[in-house]
Structure 1
Amino acid sequence: MKFATVEEPGGAVRCGVVEDGMLLRLPAGTTVLELIRTGSLHEAGARARATGDAVPLTGRRLLPPLEPPSIRDFVAFEEHVEGMVAPGSVPPEWYEAPTFYFTNPCALIGAHDDVPIPPGSRLFDFELEVAAVRGPAGICGYTILNDWSARDLQRREMKVNLGPAKGKDSATTLGPWLVTADELEPYRDADGFLALDMRVAVNGCEVGQDLLSNMGWPFEELAAYAGRGTRLRAGDVLGSGTCGNGGCLAELWGRGDPRESLRPGDVVEMTVEGIGTIRNTVVPGVELPPVRPARARPRRRSR
């Protein structure tokens, strides 16, 4: 089943099951996060089919399918690390255990929303990913994730051995809907990975293509690592990290590709087999005054 959350023409927010271009609506006030937490996605989907409250998706804004309590974004593709961090090689620490950072759940945007360039950035980039959503007892579904990145801000921040911060927290696309885990089981390969085709195009020209099964760890192991010494909650989102072979512009830059960063008017379209397509247009962002640099500290130890 595919669960979507939409904004109705009058502004009300509803969720339901997507079938044949229609939204089979669930009762007002129902949220996908609530259904995940109660483990009732399939039961609710059956109810939606039985009630027949169907409306066209056309004319309704697709919102992120859920409002997750947290988002962990991993870096699970070896080829991406080769292009981004160490062209031609991968740091040995990458192989030892999965690595992730927490991104901003308050900055989620929908499948077709405009995405503004972050203040102060001149190197704006996309990142093609798949995200798994945690249920009460394991992964309950999958969606597409675009981890929009201000590369110039990110590079400065990470020279301090912390972050990313403002280089990453301005926008993350999640959508177009949540596909329940059982729907994608036919794509699982002999090694336990989901062999989904992933593609990204800019202004109609394909830039990158990979298989999700090129991850270094399956989502189940990413979830297990994320839960070490802590706990995951139902609704937590786990991003795969950017795929290889052109999953973002920065990877291509690391391999010597001279193409430009994203500009206002660029349309970024991502399609993942078995899930769907998201399509966002880059627009100008808010111009803010430059950040004031830190003062030179006198380092006195007494008044």
Structure 2
Amino acid sequence: MKWVTYDAGAGPRAGVLDGETVHGLSAGVSVLSLLGEDALVEAGADALRAPAEVRPLAEVRLRAPIPRPPSIRDGLCFLDHLHGCYRAMGRSTELHAAWFQTPAFYFANPAAVVGPHDDVPIAPGSTMFDLELEVGIVIGRGGSDLHPDEAERHVAGYTLYNDWTARDHQQRDMAQGIGMGKSKDSAITLGPALVTADELEEHRRDGRLDLGLSAAVNGAELTSGTLAAMDWSVGELLAFVSRGTELVPGDVIGSGTVPGGCLLEHVDTTDMAAFQGWLRPGDVVELRGDGLGATRQTVRAATPFTPLRSGC
């Protein structure tokens, strides 16, 4: 099933996509609440059989399927993405041994989540705004210390994930050395739907989901790839992030960026600030994924901000 959160003018509601229509549940029921009650399958069957309302997809606003996840962790499971970023920054592409010991991840901002067709303002003060093509893994059944071979049983489904990034802010974050900060704080796209894991099984090859993924800016393809190319599997990623802590229903874990799926990897100058490809107001960014659908968003100008003592 393809679960959505939509707004037809009376506030957000949960529903199931059926072709070009949305079969809505009663007001007050959310996708997150259904995950918490382990009721997604039963509720979906009820929505298709006896919906509270039926709306044409073209007449509703799709929000993120889970507008405010309990937590978001973004992984980095495609090491060729890291190679590409290092090349663009003029660094050696040799990776530290730590990258091969465990998957890397950081905590992201649940309040930054936006819908699949929402406009996205540039992060305040940024002139090097970027996109990142990822897949979001949504937890359905909670747990801790998951085993890599069994962790995927805890996955409710998958969704497209755009990890919008201010690269100039990221340079300052990296210099400060305590992890990602304002560079990753402005927007995270989830959507258009939470596609349940069972619906994607037809794409499984050699034990992995072979989902074709692509990103485009203003109609020009930036990259294409597959989720199956992750250097760390979904099971390994979930096992690591759940080690010594509890994952809960609705938590979202990003796959990391598909190689080539950000503008940073395409920088063609030694002066990153001089690169002409950073996102500008009016640019249209699209992500696509086999079985997952597509997002399409317009970049808007940044909101004003009050400078601090350093002028930043």
Interval containing the TM-score (normalised by the shorter chain): over 0.9
SS at match of 2:208: coil
1:62 aligns to 2:78 (yes or no): no
| 1:244-263 matches, cutoff 5 A | 244=259, 246-253=260-267, 259-263=276-280
SS at match of 2:170: helix
Q: Write the distance in 2 (CA, Å) between the matches of 1:179 and 1:40.
A: 15
1:35 aligns to 2:34 (yes or no): yes
Is 157-166 or 260-269 further displaced after alignment? 157-166
SS at match of 1:74: strand
Equivalent residue, structure 1, for 2:242: 227
| 1:190-205 matches, cutoff 5 A | 190=206, 192-205=207-220
- 1:236 Cα deviation after fit: 0.5
Q: Write the distance in 1 (CA, Å) between the matches of 2:231 and 2:94.
A: 15
- 1:19 Cα deviation after fit: 0.9
Give me the TM-score of the superposition, normalised by structure 2: 0.89
CA RMSD of aligned residues (A): 1.7
SS at match of 2:59: coil
1:273 aligns to 2:274 (yes or no): no
Equivalent residue, structure 2, for 1:215: 230
Q: Residues 283 and 298 of structure 2 are in contact (CA less than 8 Å); yes or no, is this contact kept in structure 1?
A: yes
Q: Residues 120 and 290 of structure 1 are in contact (CA less than 8 Å); yes or no, is this contact kept in structure 2?
A: no
Equivalent residue, structure 2, for 1:7: 7
- Using a 3 Å threshold, how does the CA distance of structure 1 residues 255 and 198 change in structure 2: closer, same or farther? farther
Equivalent residue, structure 1, for 2:48: 49
Give the alignment partner of residue 193 of structure 2, picking from 168, 174, 177: 177
Q: CA deviation digits over 1:83-129, x for unaligned, max 9?
A: 11355433321111001000100111000000001111000000000
- 1:293 Cα deviation after fit: 3.3
Rg comparison, structure with higher value: 1
| 1:84-99 matches, cutoff 5 A | 84-85=85-86, 86=91, 88-99=93-104
* Structure 2: tracts of 5 or more residues without a match: 143-153
Q: Write the distance in 1 (CA, Å) between the matches of 2:92 and 2:290.
A: 29
Aligned AA (1:64): A
Aligned AA (2:56): P
SS at match of 1:55: strand
Q: Residues 83 and 254 of structure 1 are in contact (CA less than 8 Å); yes or no, is this contact kept in structure 2?
A: no
- Using a 3 Å threshold, how does the CA distance of structure 1 residues 195 and 259 change in structure 2: closer, same or farther? farther
Q: Residues 164 and 188 of structure 2 are in contact (CA less than 8 Å); yes or no, is this contact kept in structure 1?
A: yes
Equivalent residue, structure 1, for 2:78: 77
* Structure 1: tracts of 5 or more residues without a match: 295-303
What's the % identity of the aligned pairs? 46
SS at match of 2:173: helix
1:151 aligns to 2:167 (yes or no): yes
Aligned AA (1:118): A
Equivalent residue, structure 2, for 1:100: 105
- 1:259 Cα deviation after fit: 4.8
Equivalent residue, structure 2, for 1:298: none
Q: Write the distance in 2 (CA, Å) between the matches of 1:279 and 1:42.
A: 28
1:293 aligns to 2:310 (yes or no): yes
Give me the TM-score of the superposition, normalised by structure 1: 0.92
- 1:167 Cα deviation after fit: 0.5
Equivalent residue, structure 2, for 1:284: 301
Q: Write the distance in 1 (CA, Å) between the matches of 2:204 and 2:102.
A: 22
- Using a 3 Å threshold, how does the CA distance of structure 1 residues 255 and 186 change in structure 2: closer, same or farther? farther
- 1:254 Cα deviation after fit: 7.5
- 1:135 Cα deviation after fit: 1.0
